[in-house]
Amino acid sequence: MGNKNFADKLFFSVTKVAAFISFALIVLLFIMLIKESGLSFSKFGLRFFITKVWDPVVEQYGALSFIYGSVISSLLALLISVPISLGIALFLSEFASKKLKEFLSIIMSLLAGIPSVIYGLWGIFVLAPILRNYIEPFLQKIFGFLIFFQGEPYGLDMLAAGIILSIMITPTISSISKDVFESVPRNLREAGLALGATKWEMIKIAVLKTAKQGVIGAIILGLGRAIGETMAVTMVIGNVHEISLSLFHPSATLASVIANEFAEATTDLYVSALFKIGLTLFFVTVILNIFAKFLIYSTTKKYKV
Amino acid sequence: MLETKLEIKNLSAWYSEHQVLKNVSIPIYKNKVAAIIGPSGCGKSTLIRCINRLHEIVPNAKVEGQVLLDGKNIYDIDVDPMEVRKKVGMVFQQPNPFPTMTIFDNVAVGLKLNGVKDKKLIQSTVINALKEAGLYEEVKDKLHHYGTHLSGGQQQRLCIARTLALRPEVILFDEPCSALDPISTAKIEDLILELKKNHTIIIVTHNLQQAARVSEYTAFLYLGELIEFGLTESIFTAPKMKKTEEYIMGRFG
């Protein structure tokens, strides 16, 4: 009896420590990032985030062009992915038969699990040539008067990064949106139908309106993934430290610059500047994730009967 | 003079292979309240869900037989279920106002579905519906608050107002008070008695006293079959069938 009790207590302690470690890891990581970026903070302060010169030769570091690259490539990804993802989610939750739904859900989670380097490889050798030879010249022909589609079509550029990211975040946004749609209770759907709504009208008034907050959460979660995604983006974005409105221009993101330059960072200030970018990424993705989880949680739990 | 508003004729219904209604026939009279009683699982909810064609939205659900609304079978091929549902409103067991809509929008939503654009017309219809549902005085200062902030009984009256805004001829109540406290229940019952002046009402209820209080006619269903239908008074005081008597006496159910 005494022995059993001891085993229970031991087990409890071990699991408690394990749970604590995960929390400690986050805190330690955060502290480490702050400490390591200290040098850069003392040299550049917050100006770091609004200057775009990134020149290791003269030891001048500013992250604006990477912030710009991260924001634009992620927004581009959302622009492409959100309509497709919501279409997938609506189809799965409202129209697909049970079998098809299960099958497609498995496919979606498989897609989400593919290592990003594979997407990058595909991006370089398949997507980029198609963009360079067909899609970008075509876009230029039609929308060439817009600044977004000017310049030499290069293939490895902001557009490629946006497209790769859109593919990578679609499983996330669609599967979470599907869960959110499915959490809308049956009695709200029936309330809509009982008012004489068609299926589409019912979806609009009962499903979409009710699920809106959770869907925004799913989109923000996708945004977090897009901002943090490193490998595939680094492989296709062209890695140029410039701000250009043209989507055909190579660019760089917060994540890609770290992946690209950590090996060349030979001075303390250079390393510190990279850590500061790391801290920025960490901070932004953690905040986005917390916010997104909160929105999703508050929608899906509210209607649990 | 009794006028038949709705006639349920030889109605059978299934969920997949499971038959939940067996050849049920009941006349529903205009401007009267008909109660449907019976133990859980006897098919009472399914029966009223067949009257606004809501049964068929469940995958693999099937209906046979006729439901004549003013003499016209609502299961005829040329009948649009959406039109049926506008004429035959429904109030559900759990109050289910749309949670992201205001009180006003909850009542207005049906009108907007019908393409009503005239803001003044929407405004006056919403207010009338809220008045008819006996809710207006309680919510007139917070029409633009969320409906889900109301009490359960108020939410249920909001759902009734939402139905009334479409000017239905028949209103189906599916155990409307089972989630409510006695005071809210009394308000809903008073409301039903008021509403029958202009509507034909069918109420499914678990609560026999409720059936006795609000209805003129009662149908007793058991295991998917209609055991007895008649004046509520005679069903409760002199049931013809033994099964009905046993149920009324509380021997099962």
Residue A28 lies in a domain: no
**CA distances (Å), A67 to each of A75, A130, A277, in order?**
12, 27, 9
Residue A12 lies in a domain: no
A201 touches chain B (CB under 8 A): yes
Residue B104 lies in a domain: no
B218: CATH? 3.40.50.300
- Identity of residue A287: I
DSSP annotation of A251 reads B
Task: Write down how long chain B is.
Answer: 253
Residue B147 lies in a domain: no
CA nearest to A291, candidates A216, A206, A184: A216
CA nearest to A289, candidates A222, A214, A211: A222
Which residue is associated with the tokens 């140029």?
A240
Residue A283 lies in a domain: yes
Predicted local distance difference test score (pLDDT) of residue A5:
83
Is residue A101 packed enough to be buried (19+ CB in 10 Å), middle (13-18) or exposed (0-12)? Answer: middle
Beta-carbon pairs below 8 A across chains A and B: 67
Residue A27 lies in a domain: no
Using a CB-CB cut-off of 8 Å, the residues of chain A touching B48 are: none
Residue A220 lies in a domain: yes
Predicted local distance difference test score (pLDDT) of residue A77:
98
- Reading chain B (253 residues) residue by residue, the pLDDT tens digits are 789 999 999 999 999 999 999 999 999 999 999 999 999 889 999 999 999 999 999 989 999 999 999 999 999 999 999 999 999 999 999 999 999 999 999 999 999 988 899 999 999 999 999 999 999 999 999 999 999 889 999 999 999 999 999 999 999 999 999 999 999 999 999 999 999 999 999 999 989 999 999 999 999 999 999 999 999 999 999 999 999 999 998 877 6
Residue B111 lies in a domain: no
DSSP annotation of B21 reads E
* Domain total of chain B: 1
A58: CATH? 1.10.3720.10
Looking at A123-127, A159-163, B88-92, B245-249, which range is the least confident one? B245-249
CA nearest to A238, candidates A113, A65, A112: A65
Using a CB-CB cut-off of 8 Å, the residues of chain A touching B101 are: 205, 209
Interface test with A, best of B45, B51, B80, B82 (most A CBs within 10 A): B82
Query: Would strands A60-61 and B33-37 be described as parallel, antiparallel, or unpaired?
Result: unpaired
Residue A252 lies in a domain: yes
Residue B56 lies in a domain: yes
Average pLDDT, integer, range A159-181: 96
Predicted local distance difference test score (pLDDT) of residue A31:
96
Predicted local distance difference test score (pLDDT) of residue A2:
60
State percent of chain A over pLDDT 90: 84
Separation of alpha carbons A31 and B211, rounded Å: 68
Predicted local distance difference test score (pLDDT) of residue B82:
94
The answer, yes or no, to whether residue A1 has pLDDT greater than 60, is no
Identify the sign of the CA torsion A229, A235, A238, A240.
Answer: positive
Predicted local distance difference test score (pLDDT) of residue B250:
85
Average pLDDT, integer, range A169-188: 94
- Identity of residue A292: A
CA nearest to B131, candidates B105, B167, B157: B157
CB contact under 8 A, A196 and B85: yes
Chain A closest-CA separation from residue B253 CA (Å): 25
The answer, yes or no, to whether residue A305 has pLDDT greater than 50, is no
* Domain total of chain A: 1
Which tokens belong to A297?
């949680």
Using a CB-CB cut-off of 8 Å, the residues of chain A touching B146 are: none
Residue B156 lies in a domain: no
Residue B124 lies in a domain: no
**CA distances (Å), A47 to each of A39, A50, A62, B8, in order?**
14, 5, 7, 77
A303: confidence class by pLDDT, cuts 50, 70, 90? low
Task: Write down how long chain A is.
Answer: 305
Residue B134 lies in a domain: no
* Among candidates B54, B83, B98 on the partner chain, residue whose Cβ is nearest the Cβ of A188: B98
Chain A closest-CA separation from residue B249 CA (Å): 33
Question: What is the domain extent for residue B67?
Answer: 4-94+170-248
Question: What is the domain extent for residue A219?
Answer: 37-302
Side-by-side strand order, sheet with B72-73:
B18-29, B4-15, B61-69, B72-73
Q: List residues bridging with B217 in a β-sheet.
A: B34, B231
CB contact under 8 A, B98 and A206: yes
Residue A32 lies in a domain: no
A240 touches chain B (CB under 8 A): no
Residue B36 lies in a domain: yes
Predicted local distance difference test score (pLDDT) of residue A154:
86
Average pLDDT, integer, range A37-66: 94
Residue A217 lies in a domain: yes
Report which listed range, A10-14, A240-244, B48-52, is most confident: B48-52
